[in-house]
Amino acid sequence: MDLWSLESFTKVCFSPSLASPSKSQRSHRKCASLAHSRVSGFDRTITAMDSVPNIFIESVCASLSRESLEDLEGCRSALWNMGAKDMSRKAKEVRIDVSVCPESLVRSYTTYTDGFPTSLDDLRRTKYARISMHVVPWNTRPAVNDRLNSLFAYVSTRHVEELSMMSVDHIDSLFQNFLPLSVISTIKIWSCTFEADSAFPEWLRRTLRSNSLQDICIIGTTIEGRSEDVEEDLIHQSLIHGKRLKICMDGNRNFTNLKTPFLRRILELWTNSEKPFPREVSYHIPYHCIKEMIAVQREYIGNEESGTLLHKSGSGKVTWERFSITFRP
């Protein structure tokens, strides 16, 4: 069961509007048929969802992002409300900091639980953890940590809230594959170089198609070897239900950038769709594309100053700002 399904499932089950799901959502969860049924209305759906086992509620709550869990605490189902609040109390805030030396195999890491240093063994014993992982070059020479492989094994089986990597350049292929099972909220990659054998491009595609993210920022990053493209995966991500999404991809080499043709394609998709995108999506406009995007804007609304285009359904709009174009449901 992927995390997009869990996010969409709880959104549909506990949203007062009970909006109709897309075909792709229906194919992901048999359980979601309970929420899709309108025969007896919202109250009957809540009654049905209250009949699921507590372990199921706990599993769903453990897989949600912090903000989605907070939303679930306000649902009308007492059992799900209590399950969300209980998970908020039990889940530990875990931070993993990894320091790397770009010129050697020297690496080290530190882990924190609720702000205090902790060991990897303690981390493994933590049943519920909201993990943020930060990979940065070392400022002072770190001590060699001979348990890094153990950390790799742990992280590769976990969903993390946030992954950030900054100025990590040309490190060995083992570390290139040091990626979590998936990310459920934020991905920030700045000025990194991934070797030709890195799992990063395929990992990113899988994450974009499985989870409802909130912030994707990949800037000044190089993929060595052949060029990699995630445009289709970004479009897929834009059509997933969830919270507001911000996307910024610029200055990348052999990798996707948000250029004018792609942004025009997104605008045409939104314009020709029967309904607007299911959530707010904001795309960053690179500086060198501003004039071109102003020209695109004039094609659609004929007035550079107004900056707003209404969807044909009457329930959505696009707004332009100097460095962004935002689609609102």
Contacts of 162 (CB under 8 A, 6+ apart): 132, 133, 183, 185, 186, 187, 188
**pLDDT value at 23 more than 80:** no
Q: Mean pLDDT across the stretch 78-100?
A: 87
Task: Return the percent helix, strand and coil in the chain, to nearest 5.
Answer: 40, 25, 40
**pLDDT value at 16 more than 80:** no
**pLDDT value at 278 more than 50:** yes
| Structural tokens at position 71 | 């939303």
| Structural tokens at position 171 | 């490190």
Q: What confidence score (pLDDT) does residue 303 get?
A: 65
Q: What confidence score (pLDDT) does residue 58 get?
A: 86
| Structural tokens at position 223 | 């993929």
Q: Mean pLDDT across the stretch 132-136?
A: 89
Q: What confidence score (pLDDT) does residue 12 get?
A: 40
Torsion sign (Cα): 51, 56, 58, 61: negative
**pLDDT value at 21 more than 50:** no
C-alpha 154/C-alpha 94 separation (Å) is: 13
Q: What confidence score (pLDDT) does residue 33 get?
A: 36
**pLDDT value at 289 more than 90:** yes
β-bridge mates for residue 244, sequence order: none
Q: What confidence score (pLDDT) does residue 135 get?
A: 87
Q: What confidence score (pLDDT) does residue 143 get?
A: 53
**Tens digit of each residue's pLDDT (9 = 90 or more) over 156-213:** 888 899 999 998 876 555 566 678 888 989 999 999 988 888 889 999 999 999 999 9
Pick the closest to residue 327 from 289, 288, 275 (CA basis): 275
- 175 or 32: whose pLDDT is higher? 175
Q: How many CB atoms lie within 10 A of CB 291?
A: 9
**pLDDT value at 31 more than 50:** no
Strongest mean pLDDT among 15-29, 62-76, 257-271: 257-271
Q: Mean pLDDT across the stretch 19-32?
A: 40
Angle between helices 41-50 and 78-90 (to 10 degrees): 50
CA angle 190, 196, 197 (to 5 degrees): 110
Range with lowest mean pLDDT among 75-79, 115-119, 136-140: 136-140
Pick the closest to residue 80 from 96, 101, 56 (CA basis): 56
Amino acid at 144: V
Q: What confidence score (pLDDT) does residue 179 get?
A: 84
Confidence band (pLDDT; 50, 70, 90) for 115? Answer: confident
C-alpha 87/C-alpha 72 separation (Å) is: 11
Q: How many CB atoms lie within 10 A of CB 78?
A: 10
| Structural tokens at position 27 | 């194919």
What share of the chain in percent tops pLDDT 70?
Answer: 77
Total length of the chain: 329
Confidence band (pLDDT; 50, 70, 90) for 292? Answer: very high
C-alpha 189/C-alpha 193 separation (Å) is: 10
Q: What confidence score (pLDDT) does residue 258 get?
A: 96
- DSSP E strand stretches across the chain: 92-100, 107-113, 116-118, 129-137, 159-166, 182-190, 193-194, 215-219, 222-223, 245-250, 281-284, 308-310, 317-321, 324-328
Q: Mean pLDDT across the stretch 101-113?
A: 71
- Give the three-class secondary structure for 290: helix
**Tens digit of each residue's pLDDT (9 = 90 or more) over 3-15:** 444 444 444 444 4
C-alpha 38/C-alpha 192 separation (Å) is: 49
What share of the chain in percent tops pLDDT 90?
Answer: 36
pTM summary value: 0.78
Q: Mean pLDDT across the stretch 139-150?
A: 61
Range with lowest mean pLDDT among 61-65, 112-116, 127-131, 161-165: 61-65
Q: What confidence score (pLDDT) does residue 106 get?
A: 55
C-alpha 74/C-alpha 71 separation (Å) is: 6
Q: What confidence score (pLDDT) does residue 7 get?
A: 46
Q: What confidence score (pLDDT) does residue 46 get?
A: 56
**pLDDT value at 26 more than 80:** no
